[in-house]
């Protein structure tokens, strides 16, 4: 069991005097269930676990009354050993999207107050694309608005990856000090962090992929795990999508590597299928995003805060939520190329998706800025109260677009910039240079 950031939130939730049933949503295989189970074992005398994906027959327990006394009676009858002790019991509803009536019961559990309820869901963000049978079931089921606390969970981020590799807290403190004082990281630490970053690029944050890699260091075994997860995503597209959308959703998903291979990485529907148009695929793309598989990165009309207020919402790039799954969709041998630094022309896509992974798992919304073909900034973030452009360079680069913005503050409203690449901490004028492994420390302040 790896150390996860969701643990901090779970402990905070447990300390709330008037806590609501908790719903943790996130893509499949990101570690929701194992984290919730581990938390429950540490904090409750009794645990009642119900997996609606593996044991669909459990859904029938919620077809009658949703009164808590009735539910505890039928659940205890159906699950040997289930013991409901008031104020000492945690009920876990796993994959709750497969049992809408169980989600409807959260209102009654909140009003009753005797039992804590934690739910997980992999496709709770997907609306309007479920099978007709599930849509009909949900039409008669109201989501308990105001009676649940919803939180997002992501695959393990780079900082959690470092924890899994037993990097001590003192090292994190040293790195933050180096960033704050803008002084280089000593070579021994720098080289170790660079190697861990390259490994993270190919492994990503899926706990099972991390476990396989750390236990075996066998890239092929890890790749098998990753591709099985990708195949599960494709199965979900068939199971939960409407019949008329199934092929379109898959086409959008499988076009991602081609979208990022272009010099101009703006998402283009004609890359999905020749002659493809927005109206044909916009809902399919939304399905993949709502399932937590990809993130959009929106172009900005101007580099100025607030970023969301200046976003151009019909002009965007698409990145995979997890860098490891993205690399697994590429050719065999890509992992070796990355570890050896031989990525060729595709390295820009790899490092941009890495930055999208790091920023997205921090909970940041993603933005970029492209005015012309010769003026493009990979990412734009809020940092230390300013609008700050961020350029990703696999190794070295002139960062001409950064210079253009900084040379015209009256036009672009930019005073400082960050350049991430395969180098150490430093500064040249208004440009702060940091290694990629420090990107997760660019907290929004």
Q: What is the pLDDT of residues 247-283, one digit of tens each?
A: 999 999 999 999 998 888 999 999 999 999 999 999 9
Joined tokens for residue 256: 């991602």
Residue 136: its pLDDT value, please?
46
Q: What is the pLDDT of residues 318-327, one digit of tens each?
A: 999 999 999 9
Query: What is the rounded CA–CA span in Å between residue 62 and residue 81?
Result: 19
Average pLDDT of the residues in 382-398: 85
Of the candidate ranges 43-52, 102-111, 367-376, the one whose mean pLDDT is the lowest: 367-376
Residue 1: pLDDT band (50, 70, 90) is confident
Average pLDDT score over the chain:
92
Per the listing, tokens 């070295």 go with 396
| Domain boundaries defined on the chain | 6-152, 158-441
pLDDT greater than 80 at residue 396 = no
Q: What is the pLDDT of residues 293-327, one digit of tens each?
A: 999 999 999 999 999 999 999 999 999 999 999 99
Joined tokens for residue 197: 């970053």
Measured at the CA of 425, the angle between CA 420 and CA 426, to 5 degrees, comes to: 100
Average pLDDT of the residues in 345-351: 84
DSSP 111: H
Query: What is the rounded CA–CA span in Å between residue 33 and residue 333?
Result: 32
The answer to whether 237 touches 253, Cβ cutoff 8 Å, is yes
DSSP 342: -
Q: What is the pLDDT of residues 123-167, one digit of tens each?
A: 886 644 343 444 444 444 556 778 999 999 999 999 999 999 999
Measured in degrees and rounded to the nearest 5, phi and psi for residue 122 equal -95, -25
Query: What is the rounded CA–CA span in Å between residue 85 and residue 136?
Result: 35
The answer to whether 325 touches 310, Cβ cutoff 8 Å, is no
Q: DSSP characters for 124-168?
A: TT--S-S-HHHHHHHHT----TTS-EEEE--S--HHHHHHHTT--
How does strand 89-94 pair with strand 366-372? unpaired
Residue 238: its pLDDT value, please?
81
Residue 204: pLDDT band (50, 70, 90) is very high
For 6-152, which CATH class? alpha beta
């Amino acid at each position: 069991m790896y150390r996860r950031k969701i643990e901090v939130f779970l402990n905070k939730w447990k300390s709330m005097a008037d806590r609501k049933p908790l719903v943790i949503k996130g893509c499949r295989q990101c570690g929701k269930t194992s984290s919730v189970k581990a938390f429950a074992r540490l904090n409750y005398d009794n645990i009642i676990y119900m997996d609606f994906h593996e044991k669909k027959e459990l859904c029938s327990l919620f077809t009658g009354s949703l009164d808590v006394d009735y539910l505890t009676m039928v659940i205890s009858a159906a699950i040997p050993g289930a013991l409901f002790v008031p104020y000492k019991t945690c009920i876990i509803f796993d994959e709750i999207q497969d049992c809408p009536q169980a989600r409807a019961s959260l209102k009654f559990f909140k009003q009753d107050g005797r039992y804590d309820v934690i739910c997980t869901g992999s496709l709770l963000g997907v609306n309007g694309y479920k099978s007709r049978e599930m849509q009909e079931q949900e039409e008669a089921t109201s989501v308990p608005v105001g009676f649940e606390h919803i939180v997002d969970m992501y695959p393990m981020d780079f900082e959690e990856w470092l924890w899994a590799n037993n990097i001590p807290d003192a090292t994190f403190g040293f790195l933050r000090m180096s960033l704050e004082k803008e002084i280089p990281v000593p070579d021994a630490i720098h080289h170790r962090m660079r190697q861990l970053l390259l490994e993270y690029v190919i492994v990503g944050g899926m706990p099972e992929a991390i476990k396989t890699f750390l236990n075996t260091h066998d890239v092929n075994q890890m790749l098998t795990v990753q591709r099985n997860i990708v195949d599960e995503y494709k199965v979900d597209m068939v199971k939960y999508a409407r019949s008329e959308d199934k092929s379109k959703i898959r086409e959008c998903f499988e076009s991602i590597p081609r979208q990022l291979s272009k010099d101009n990485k703006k998402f283009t529907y004609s890359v999905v299928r020749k002659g493809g148009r927005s109206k044909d695929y916009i809902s399919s793309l939304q399905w993949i995003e709502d399932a937590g598989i990809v993130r959009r990165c929106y172009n900005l009309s101007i580099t100025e805060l607030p970023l969301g207020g200046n976003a151009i919402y019909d002009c965007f790039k698409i990145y995979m939520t997890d860098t490891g799954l993205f690399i697994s969709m590429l050719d065999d041998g890509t992992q070796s190329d990355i570890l050896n630094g031989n990525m060729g022309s595709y390295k820009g896509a790899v490092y941009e998706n890495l930055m999208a992974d790091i920023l997205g798992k921090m909970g940041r919304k993603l933005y970029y800025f492209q005015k012309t073909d010769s003026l493009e900034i990979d990412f734009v973030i809020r940092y230390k109260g300013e609008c700050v452009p961020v350029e990703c360079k696999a190794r070295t680069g002139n960062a001409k677009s950064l210079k253009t913005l900084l040379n015209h503050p009256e036009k672009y409203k930019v005073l400082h910039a960050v350049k991430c690449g395969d180098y150490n901490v430093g500064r040249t004028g208004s440009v702060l240079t940091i290694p990629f492994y420090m990107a997760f420390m660019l907290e929004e302040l």
